[in-house]
Structure 1
């Protein structure tokens, strides 16, 4: 969207003696000793540390599409490209998305480490220096979090690379990596600015750090670590966000574009509008016509509703919704017909016509959360400037409710208030007024409330790259994937589609190895101190 993160960090390399043919100083790179000399240098370096978030292998596509589109909320319908496709769990350690996620996270870590090491070089305002340091520490922790939650134990990298030949780095166990993630984020929390000061969702704020600490702690409390002491810590961090007064759910909408405040959250992301109260942290993208110097587009919107019209916006329709997700929404829930498009497009390059689905045609409807016809022109065919929401305030409220239920062995009033606030917005009623349709029944048991949390996260956060990790940390990944095979086979889909659509579910349900990614082949070939993950 906005070109806040468009300047790439100049390449920083360290001179290392190899052999005579390589013993020359490079002339087209900036040495670290000659950089980080001004506040501007530090800000450019910070931009470089943020930049991998927009990679194709992180929030440009991979984390929410390739590794996120086969769960009980959605599936990928096109088996023509099923070979080595993460969307069907048809991959191994040679897959480019497996290696791309690993590599881009370590690129971000290396850039953050270089910035941290050189943070004190320039003469500048000390408060601004500490903010930059805080963001760099957080990013280092966040990239390690993406690694450990996807690959398990990984090499911790806390200093810049001093020798490019030092490649044999052993893995640290997952608990050790998570501990460092917490340490980096906690240190960052005291340094970064408030969201109301920053004014955009591109840079992490104090409450963003607190919200992400809540997420990290919930991951630690669940599978595979099962450190249940972290539920109390997750609750504390989520409460800090809630009590800060910095955030609230969006309740406004543009009646010319949408009929619900919920859908406005995602229209804002397609229309270059920052709403930092609701959307706390976003991976930034920017498109301004075609072939301009500063375009950095993602895929959000291009995999959603299928259309081949330039005004409406090209889309493949390759994220399809499940019957389970559709049925989770009850009468009056306005989120359903925005998240799950109630129509498809029949389109050409010059025309686009909406065709409404019949009531019985549920399975295979297209994801509608980010609709390209709401984008501002001009539009590119295969890329968009739509920002990806890494953390939203509704997620924090649901994490708070979940942690309350776990800590107290049952839901408290605070847990009910948090989840009902999310539900009331979904039903289009005032957030502070009880509503018989929106509010959960009183006196739910611990087990029933936990189920409500699991369902509510699907309703509110579907297609945002969180469902697969949620299922894994709850310990229900296999049973959910097995159940999806049964659901599809019992549906009114054609025999051909049934056979295509169950591929990913039957593969993932057949082996426990798919709860974790393999260590990439390139890393195994180069790093002789690292070992493959079990089952890979």
Structure 2
């Protein structure tokens, strides 16, 4: 669940000055960091502020930008969302701009914590943990930025004035090196158990570190960290995969959910309103109290599942509407569309659900371990054990040994597609492996053409950022 805090005015002032915004006026009276960072409660409040961009990101654009681009789901063609699916967007696309802004907002707030908390007089153990949480968050935000945009500005200090927003891009490999260093320190300094729900523990840092190493191409380190987390026995797979997404079972799901964006349907807090996006219009409240019918799955993706795969139950080809009428594929309102039932909340507050959104869970770590091991050493018994652990929970047969290295890796990528569907992961698997142009073949009657090009490997840097930062150049393919 998400907590709500009143942030000091200096946070609001600085938040508008970081990369992603431009100050229109010079503030003459506000609380400065020197005035604010005096007590332990100040440090905790600053850390809470560094967490809030996670829910800002994942309440919508953090999933929409990658998922609408991939081969699992597509949006209803309204308010420009279809641009992501047909690759007609440019650097002025608002969803892409929001993605950038939320991440750099998080980077700036994490930097503020890292710079200012060391001088606060407080319990030294908790101070060390606060700094480690901030490093984890900074690493997380940069991981999102680098895998989405490629070369990006590497802000290592907080924004203090307009001049400090003028930062050039750093090479992707340098961004990975920086965020990996953050995560390695967080692994050392974070506690084994999180202080509160929705906070990072050392397992979250180690799991994200394994994933970052995988993306950076250091397969030995990716396998090492993934296996270390698995063998720590701090986490386990839920026996029923369907329970993972039930908001009434979110506490039980924490055995597998290593780190998640925590949402609350309570008034004044941030709810997960994508439950309403996936819920078909005029559907009964078993989906959500409010339904928009704005996103659906591809039939080809639904058919890729084995009929015995329990995860296929998170999708459907028909539903009974609020009038008690069965709406199936023959009905114009659902024809050639698949219902995404992974995130349901019949007790939602309107379109705001209680569903926590998984950012990292143990099944992902098992598949990172399988892929990294195979890329480093071939499809060893260790690699087979990792992937088959996930397959057994899904109720499908073990992957038979004897596959070539390439065939095994392809099987892992397919397993990732099934296991992590609609969790903002698939597009990045396609881009990091150079397979993203295959989405041009995933078509239907709503999107009969998807002309993806080489330049879509990374999204363009938002035009506003280029205009307001004289040292920032647009990605070459988007000039």
Do the two structures share a fold, i.e. TM-score over 0.5? yes
Cα distance in 1, alignment partners of residues 386 and 179 from structure 2: 27
Change in 2 beyond 3 A, CA 1:244/1:272: closer
User: Over residues 232-258 of structure 1, what are the superposed CA-to-partner deviations in whole Å (9 max), with x where a residue is unaligned?
Assistant: 11101101110111011001xxxxxxx
Cα distance in 2, alignment partners of residues 274 and 121 from structure 1: 38
- 1:507 equivalent in structure 2: 451
Cα distance in 1, alignment partners of residues 81 and 256 from structure 2: 39
Select 1:448's aligned residue among 399, 407, 416.
Answer: 407
1:438 aligned onto 2:411: no
Change in 2 beyond 3 A, CA 1:528/1:440: same
| Alpha-carbon shift at residue 272 of structure 1 (Å) | 4.8
- 1:238 equivalent in structure 2: 226
| Alpha-carbon shift at residue 111 of structure 1 (Å) | 0.9
Q: Secondary structure at the match of 1:411?
A: coil
- 1:224 equivalent in structure 2: none
Cα distance in 2, alignment partners of residues 272 and 444 from structure 1: 37
| Alpha-carbon shift at residue 67 of structure 1 (Å) | 3.0
- 1:127 equivalent in structure 2: 125
- 1:276 equivalent in structure 2: 254
- 1:204 equivalent in structure 2: 200
The answer to whether the Cα contact below 8 Å between 2:110 and 2:137 also exists between their aligned partners in 1 is yes
User: Over residues 129-169 of structure 1, what are the superposed CA-to-partner deviations in whole Å (9 max), with x where a residue is unaligned?
Assistant: 11110000111121111111111111111112232234322
Q: Secondary structure at the match of 2:103?
A: helix
TM-score (norm 1): 0.81
| Alpha-carbon shift at residue 266 of structure 1 (Å) | 0.6
Q: Secondary structure at the match of 1:507?
A: coil
Cα distance in 2, alignment partners of residues 40 and 199 from structure 1: 15
Cα distance in 1, alignment partners of residues 434 and 405 from structure 2: 17
User: Over residues 150-208 of structure 1, what are the superposed CA-to-partner deviations in whole Å (9 max), with x where a residue is unaligned?
Assistant: 1111111111223223432211111111110111111111111113x5463x1111111
- 2:70 equivalent in structure 1: 71
| Alpha-carbon shift at residue 354 of structure 1 (Å) | 5.2
Q: How does 1:38-77 map to 2 (within 5 A)?
A: 38-55=39-56, 58-76=57-75
Q: Secondary structure at the match of 1:391?
A: strand
Cα distance in 2, alignment partners of residues 302 and 24 from structure 1: 40
The answer to whether the Cα contact below 8 Å between 2:106 and 2:141 also exists between their aligned partners in 1 is yes
The answer to whether the Cα contact below 8 Å between 2:66 and 2:425 also exists between their aligned partners in 1 is no
Cα distance in 1, alignment partners of residues 159 and 221 from structure 2: 33
| Alpha-carbon shift at residue 83 of structure 1 (Å) | 7.3
Change in 2 beyond 3 A, CA 1:273/1:310: farther
- 1:316 equivalent in structure 2: 292
User: Over residues 312-338 of structure 1, what are the superposed CA-to-partner deviations in whole Å (9 max), with x where a residue is unaligned?
Assistant: 322233332223322322232111122
Cα distance in 2, alignment partners of residues 311 and 362 from structure 1: 21
Stretches of structure 2 lacking an aligned partner (at least 5 in a row): 18-23
1:214 aligned onto 2:210: yes
User: Over residues 333-381 of structure 1, what are the superposed CA-to-partner deviations in whole Å (9 max), with x where a residue is unaligned?
Assistant: 111122x12422422xxx55554658xx9942111101233xxx3x333
- 1:371 equivalent in structure 2: 344
1:304 aligned onto 2:272: no
Select 1:420's aligned residue among 388, 400, 407.
Answer: 388
Q: Secondary structure at the match of 1:389?
A: strand
The answer to whether the Cα contact below 8 Å between 1:112 and 1:140 also exists between their aligned partners in 2 is yes
The answer to whether the Cα contact below 8 Å between 2:379 and 2:408 also exists between their aligned partners in 1 is yes
Cα distance in 1, alignment partners of residues 467 and 61 from structure 2: 23
Cα distance in 1, alignment partners of residues 294 and 329 from structure 2: 17
Stretches of structure 1 lacking an aligned partner (at least 5 in a row): 222-229, 252-260, 428-436, 489-497
Select 1:343's aligned residue among 303, 307, 318.
Answer: 318
Tell which structure's C-alpha radius of gyration is larger.
1
Q: Secondary structure at the match of 1:390?
A: strand
Cα distance in 2, alignment partners of residues 280 and 514 from structure 1: 31
Change in 2 beyond 3 A, CA 1:23/1:135: closer
Q: Considering fraction of residues, name the structure with more helix.
A: 2
Please identify, of 32-41 and 399-408, the stretch whose mean Cα deviation from structure 2 is larger. Answer: 32-41
- 2:20 equivalent in structure 1: none
